[in-house]
Structure 1
């Protein structure tokens, strides 16, 4: 690590809600960081288990740790509370049930300061409870991401060889942001808050750098938000893309086209997955409302190929057609 950046403070924001079984490994992984100039902000979002007590325990062990206790408000308000308390030149987010590689911040910060980048990012790796491997390749590459690549990757509108995988573009926890990039920007309460947040941030970014090694460990557990079955939050994912669309300037028809295409895919997919659940009617009304609000622009946008428009409208108006398409995809997936 270069001597001139060792004093640059990184504010690490950790939203926490009922993750007592995972919280200690998460905090310990941050404390084990080879980059030590950290402000660690633990936001206990009204946990009803022992998570809050664990947070308080760690404040007595390390002076870099601060705890915010608040009434349960959700992931976005918890992160926002952390952002308001952040004092660092750089900001990072870690979920309370995940953990990181000891060198993650060292690698992210060094890469970020090598050029005129708005943020740096590594890869997230899905792991399971007993997987505590910290091994990383001895050799790795860095790539430059333009704003266009970032936006298109966010909406899964670019080949992975040209950009990055959609999930890596969407999440906030694999990135180190410059503080000034996040000024006056906060998370919205929506189904995919990371995507909506990054849509705004990417449009303020000139370019970013990605290091192609997995250094963030995304713990897979059945009770996590991403593994919950269909519920109102799941259906709200479609509205997240409408929020993205509202934040893209009217004159930027390329980015709006990418977002519109993803929005139509999402409303069709959400309606399909909710079809045999108690939330079927809510999903139907959401799809109908979003289609009405965006159909005219969707049809007129010249950056969406005609065959894409035709297939998505066919799937929307003929749900059994989409059901058949999904069954075919599932059959192909099982054969691989």
Structure 2
């Protein structure tokens, strides 16, 4: 039986169905409906004369076959007869297939059907546009979409009568008043009523709250939440606990976005009922006004969406942290009791990213760079180069506890790789007087995962040669050798940059 008919059958059987046929497959759907669903009225609209004749002939066969439930009203329509036909409002279900005219599907929203069930090629019809047209008056929407012979996505949505919010975006605020207007203006440009913007004032000493209040007077979607200072993690958690959306997003309010970022993310998430949707981001350099794309996992299979556990697990190890360029299903978060560790004063996005990724059943990437992450700003966590980097160790303690009962070996291996990458990042930045203590702590952290041989195997399998060398040095606590290794890398990077600059000057004839 056709998937659309199976979905229809699972609902409380509607009294009336409008079936729109755009290809011969629609005749099979009509047969399945009359076998599996007991109706009072079935109206079949054929989009061509050729199809109308085929449906008319099949109707004669059906009426003489006892396996079918024949409704009291069984009506066939040509396309030019559609506008004059009257449909009931109560329990009407619309099914369509083979339709290539988006305007025609959107016109069906005027019928205020209880159910919309469809199948279309995304080359012709935009699934999210259809959802937007129907969402206010339709209780359930189920759309199978595809591109050519590619994989099928399924939008499976049910209206929440008490809560119309589909997306909540959370902004933890502390001392970023200078950047806040640009952030607010780029995020709120998308004019839709099913999004809320939650600005959490984390006891900020500047005038962040006043700026938000000013914008909130003009935009009712903007909400100001105030709390005592507790750090970014506590502000994000405070917003998360009050968010109404089906999906949750986070923005650092000193950053900004392309105005259509959240529309694109939500469209992809809903289109395939994905639990995570994310895009690429750019590093924006405050001192120059220039930006650069940051390489990330945006290609196949992520750009087409995947529910392959192995491919999702790879994101634990290879995808950048950057939780603010994605949206996350609230059900995913609540089902797995994921939260921000409010004791952490910085880098709280790392455990959140690993936990949501390890529990996600499906993810999709928008292969565009839509978020601008501001760099070179005074006071940023990423500028820390002292004992503040020791925060990585309580982070990994939390993650070790979270992953304690995980039986998925891949996830444990990727977490091990994340630790090596994180410690490398810290040791490349940390001042010399703090590096010995950091190495001592990192050694204990690394040894807690695997034995030496097993750890080497994991890093050799998943990481680079430099990852493997760093693991060996960390495991045995050779901090002097580690400093030499990272110094050599830093020197090579500087030389490489100088060579690139010389080549650029030569190309310009200077």
TM-score normalized with structure 1 length: 0.83
- 1:262-277 matches, within 5 Å, as 262-267=418-423, 270-271=426-427, 273-274=429-430, 276-277=432-433
User: 2:332: which partner in 1?
Assistant: 181
What is the deviation of 1:305? 3.1
Aligned-residue CA RMSD in angstroms? 2.9
What is the deviation of 1:269? 5.3
1:91 aligned counterpart, secondary structure: strand
Q: Deviations over 1:261-287 (max 9, x none)?
A: 33245446535644524x456525533
1:28 lines up with 2:185 in the alignment: yes
User: 2:410: which partner in 1?
Assistant: 254
How many Å separate the matches in 2 of 1:222 and 1:282?
Answer: 28
Q: 1:54 to 1:287 in 2, by over 3 A?
A: same
* Aligned counterpart for 1:82 among listed residues 195, 218, 239: 239
How many Å separate the matches in 2 of 1:59 and 1:215?
Answer: 24
1:125 aligned counterpart, secondary structure: strand
Query: Which region of structure 1 is more displaced relative to structure 2, 285-294 or 93-102?
Result: 285-294
Conserved 8 A contact 2:166-2:247: yes
What is the deviation of 1:255? 1.7
What is the deviation of 1:258? 2.1
Q: 1:269 to 1:65 in 2, by over 3 A?
A: closer
Unmatched runs of 5 consecutive residues or more in structure 1: 134-139, 157-165
1:300 lines up with 2:457 in the alignment: no
* Aligned counterpart for 1:144 among listed residues 302, 305, 313: 305
1:73 aligned counterpart, secondary structure: coil
Q: 1:281 to 1:73 in 2, by over 3 A?
A: farther
User: 1:171: which partner in 2?
Assistant: 322
How many Å separate the matches in 2 of 1:320 and 1:5?
Answer: 62
Conserved 8 A contact 1:9-1:89: yes
2:364 aligned counterpart, secondary structure: strand
How many Å separate the matches in 2 of 1:121 and 1:273?
Answer: 28
Conserved 8 A contact 1:268-1:287: no
User: 2:388: which partner in 1?
Assistant: 233
How many Å separate the matches in 2 of 1:87 and 1:220?
Answer: 31
1:214 aligned counterpart, secondary structure: strand
Query: Which region of structure 1 is more displaced relative to structure 2, 310-319 or 210-219?
Result: 310-319
Q: 1:115 to 1:323 in 2, by over 3 A?
A: same
Q: Deviations over 1:272-306 (max 9, x none)?
A: 644524x456525533542453353x643554438
What is the deviation of 1:11? 0.8
User: 1:136: which partner in 2?
Assistant: none
Conserved 8 A contact 1:128-1:219: yes
Q: 1:229 to 1:4 in 2, by over 3 A?
A: same
User: 2:281: which partner in 1?
Assistant: 124
Q: Deviations over 1:10-49 (max 9, x none)?
A: 1111111000100111111122124442111100111111
What is the deviation of 1:87? 0.9
How many Å separate the matches in 1 of 2:369 and 2:363?
Answer: 17
What is the deviation of 1:131? 4.6
How many Å separate the matches in 2 of 1:218 and 1:269?
Answer: 18
1:201 lines up with 2:332 in the alignment: no
1:173 aligned counterpart, secondary structure: helix
User: 1:314: which partner in 2?
Assistant: 473
Q: 1:269 to 1:29 in 2, by over 3 A?
A: closer
Conserved 8 A contact 1:35-1:106: no
How many Å separate the matches in 2 of 1:291 and 1:64?
Answer: 46
Query: Which region of structure 1 is more displaced relative to structure 2, 214-223 or 10-19?
Result: 214-223
How many Å separate the matches in 2 of 1:309 and 1:219?
Answer: 32
Length, aligned pairs only: 317
Name which structure has the greater RCO, CA cutoff 8 Å, separation 6+: 1
* Aligned counterpart for 2:258 among listed residues 101, 112, 115: 101
How many Å separate the matches in 1 of 2:449 and 2:435?
Answer: 21
How many Å separate the matches in 1 of 2:305 and 2:493?
Answer: 32
Conserved 8 A contact 1:151-1:199: no
Q: Deviations over 1:62-111 (max 9, x none)?
A: 21111111111001100011011111122111111111212112211111
Conserved 8 A contact 2:315-2:357: no
